[in-house]
Amino acid sequence: MSVKLTEEMLSALPDARGHFGAFGGRFVSETLMDSLMTLEKEYLQLKQDPEFQAKFDKDLADYVGRPSPLYFAERLTRETGGAQIWLKREDLNHTGAHKVNNTIGQALLAAFLGKKRIIAETGAGQHGVATATVCARLGLECHVFMGAEDVQRQSLNVFRMKLLGAEVHAVQSGTRTLKDAMNDAMRDWVTNVDDTFYIIGTVAGPHPYPMLVRDFQSVIGREIRSQAMDKVGKLPDALVACVGGGSNAIGMFHPFLADENVELYGVEAGGLGIASGQHAAPLCAGRPGVLHGNRTYLMEDENGQIAGTHSVSAGLDYPGVGPEHAWLKDIGRANYVSVTDEEALDGFRKLTRVEGIMPALETAHAVAYGVKLAAEMDKDQMLVINISGRGDKDIHTIANLDGIEI
Amino acid sequence: MSRIEAVLKTLKGQGRKALIPYITAGDPHPDVTVELMHTLVEAGADIIELGVPFSDPMADGPVIQLACERALKHGTSLRQVLGMVKTFRETDARTPVVLMGYLNPMEAMGYEAFADAAVDSGVDGILTVDLPPEEADDVAPLFTQRKLDAIFLLAPTTTDDRIRAISEHSSGYVYYVSFKGVTGAARINVDEVASKVAHIHEMTALPVGVGFGIRDAETAAAVGRVSDGVIVGSVLVDTIARNQADTAELKRALTDLLHPMREALDSLAS
Ligand SMILES: Cc1ncc(COP(=O)(O)O)c(C=O)c1O
């Protein structure tokens, strides 16, 4: 059952405590509370500050290369035989993914707050690269925490970060993936809270992060709105994005939440299949709990211990999800679905061969589902897939799966 | 009066300071936790903080992270931890037990079911690291209705407004985190702690326990001098890690660590 959302309702969210309905909030140890409250206060002020917004917009235009194109995938549409498939080309951003929209915004915040040391967690390494990039540009000290397993499977991005001058900390604790990287980033932050700004890479974490990351990423959806009106003369019928923590998806969805005729699809990592338990799909198969500073859907065991996850894509390999998505699921505004590793790899190959666009493995999940969905839709309908990032970083993984050494 | 309040009041009357050791339940093995709790009491503990293991202990350093991993390898659940307290209570009705952990295992069990079971097991207080009072509206009343003490953290970064608000939500004692960092780091600055605790004392009548960074008789005495009690964690957990194989040896080692702290604290008695 879906609730009709109005602009007025949406502008009141999250509430003053950072809640989206039953989700979100600020569940951290006391040491961090003051910093989070200061960050919230400063951000809400800067959000209204024309100078800050102008700086942000200028960086997005001149440094990131925005607006990113909305591209009509003509051949893919013809082959699929359903709705018109359009691609939002976040892969063409500087550094190759949507992540940089957010790091530009948070680095500006850090500068306004006078913080000289930056930390970040990363899974696929795209957020780490985007953070290292803005730090290089602004001359800030940069530390990136990355699960030891992800350091292995995303070695190209590790090297990129090092070239950019960042220090990459391989995290050996727990499952040695994204969630453990986030744990260690939090531990660093609590230790160096006076001089350090934590640039969180997705719409998770304690309030105000889910709000401010959403705001910075919403440029994606705003551009789609005006590009769709320009090129097609109407809003899209469906939007599709992959969901790890959920930042590219919320950035795409948020400007459309009040448009009830626009269907929203978030695609989680189905791994080896939901039934196998080997996946990273908390919205599809998890339940509400508290992790990393917010209440959201989680993958956990019956005792509340966080479960190990599996996905072929490091950037989706996370047991939680942003609280706003948890809320959108519960009120029925967005649909959350999953595709398996296998389907995502097929999606990767299809987009590469049919359109000459090599998507990130994370993005390939959205491609796989988007094509499936388009096939069931009418020819006069319009579907947009968020191409959240490019696939260069995944070439080693694909080659390995194909048994090829490069 | 709660068991925690009573113990702290008696100590205060004697001019003595509370010794509050922390161990992680289920570490090194669920079968020995109750035995270790009794050992802590024999070595001079006034209150025990019993850690509930969690897969993602964000506020803890490597020592307690590894303790959680050992405990979870043996499947230690919150229900089992409550069972351990119940067994402990069969032979010790006097020593307060505070459960210390993260919110999610309690949420998964259900707050009401957890609060009932905690009372039934003889738990006295609950300290949830990632639950500031702002988020505790639904949870804390379940504790207070059952006379469980809700213990909250104060930190070097806590503002005066928050010190007051947090103290109002707390009962039993407040736990002052002595430095910015995770458990097990060695960053304690006794002068800073002294001035902050004195400041907290001006704002609340609750006893103030100080934890993080207390590792021997010397730091215990230095911090005990300026507070109402000391919480000792990582150094004990590290001792458990190093003596996992031999329980008798482990009990001796824990006693050898705690006993001098007890003596050092008592030598402060006026
Ligand atoms: C290209 C790309 N897409 C998607 C994601 C998933 O993150 P989110 O769900 O926050 O967009 C990542 C994360 O690393 C990524 O690199």
Q: From CA A97, how far away is CA A91, in angstroms rounded?
A: 5
The stretch A190-206 carries a mean pLDDT of 96
Q: Domain of residue A35: give its range.
A: 17-60+98-213
In a domain, A44, yes or no: yes
Of the pLDDT bands very low, low, confident and very high (cuts 50, 70, 90), residue A1 is very low
Query: Where in chain B are the domains?
Result: 3-263
Residue-level pLDDT at A406 = 82
Same domain as A180, residue A108: yes
Residue B270, pLDDT > 70, answer no
Same domain as A354, residue A240: yes
Question: Pick the catalytic residue: B5, B49, B124, B149?
Answer: B49
The number of domains in chain A is: 2
Assign domain B3-263 to its CATH architecture.
Alpha-Beta Barrel (3.20)
Query: A27: which chain B residues are within 8 Å (Cβ-Cβ)?
Result: 103, 130-132, 135
Answer whether B130 touches A (CB < 8 Å).
yes
Residue A194, pLDDT > 80, answer yes
Q: What is the CATH number of the domain that holds A31?
A: 3.40.50.1100
In a domain, A332, yes or no: yes
On the 0-12 / 13-18 / 19+ scale of CB atoms within 10 A, A271 is buried
Indicate whether residue A248 lines ligand 1 (CB < 6 A).
yes
Same domain as A103, residue A92: no
Same domain as A174, residue A117: yes
Task: Please count the residue pairs, one from chain A and one from chain B, whose beta carbons lie less than 8 angstroms apart.
Answer: 119
In a domain, A1, yes or no: no
pLDDT tens digits for range B190-243: 999 999 999 999 999 999 999 999 999 999 999 999 999 999 999 999 999 999
On the 0-12 / 13-18 / 19+ scale of CB atoms within 10 A, A150 is buried
Q: Which residues contact A197 (CB under 8 A, 6 or more apart)?
A: A106, A109, A110, A113, A115, A117, A118, A119
Same domain as A102, residue A78: no
In a domain, A6, yes or no: no
Q: From CA A266, how far away is CA A199, in angstroms rounded?
A: 24
Domain stop point among A213, A243, A259: A213
The stretch A149-178 carries a mean pLDDT of 94
Residue B147, pLDDT > 80, answer yes
Residue-level pLDDT at A217 = 98
Percent of chain A at pLDDT exceeding 70: 99
- Classified as helix, coil or strand, A80 is helix
Of these ranges, A172-181, A333-342, A389-398, the one predicted with the greatest mean pLDDT is A333-342
Domain stop point among A183, A213, A243: A213
Residue-level pLDDT at A367 = 99
Indicate whether residue A311 lines ligand 1 (CB < 6 A).
no
CA-closest residue to ligand 1 atom 1: A389
Domain stop point among A160, A182, A213: A213
In a domain, A147, yes or no: yes
Same domain as A70, residue A108: no
Of the pLDDT bands very low, low, confident and very high (cuts 50, 70, 90), residue A8 is confident
Residue B129: closest CA among chain A residues belongs to which residue?
A29
Instruction: Give the helix/strand (H/E) hosting A86.
Output: strand A84-89
Same domain as A145, residue A46: yes
- Amino acid letter, A26: R
Indicate whether residue A344 lines ligand 1 (CB < 6 A).
no
Same domain as A188, residue A88: no
Q: From CA A291, how far away is CA A41, in angstroms rounded?
A: 23
Same domain as A112, residue A188: yes
How many CB atoms within 10 Å of residue A17? 12
Task: Report ipTM for this prediction.
Answer: 0.96
Q: Which residues contact B166 (CB under 8 A, 6 or more apart)?
A: A30, B132, B133, B152, B153, B154, B158, B174
Same domain as A328, residue A241: yes
DSSP states of A301-319 as a string?
A: -TTSPBPP---SSGGG--S
Answer whether B173 touches A (CB < 8 Å).
no
Tell me the pLDDT of chain A averaged across its residues: 96
Q: What is the DSSP letter of A14?
A: S
In a domain, A317, yes or no: yes
CB A86 within 8 A of CB A366: no
Count CA atoms closer than 13 A to A183's CA, side-chain side: 28
What are the respective helix, strand and coil percentages of chain A, to the nearest 5?
50, 20, 30
Same domain as A263, residue A394: yes
How many CB atoms within 10 Å of residue B76? 25
Residue-level pLDDT at A231 = 98
Same domain as A133, residue A173: yes
Residue A31, pLDDT > 50, answer yes
- Which active-site residues of A does the annotation give? 99, 121, 388
DSSP states of A108-143 as a string?
A: HHHHHHT--EEEEEESSSHHHHHHHHHHHHHT-EEE
Q: Which residues contact B240 (CB under 8 A, 6 or more apart)?
A: B23, B24, B27, B28, B36, B67, B250, B254
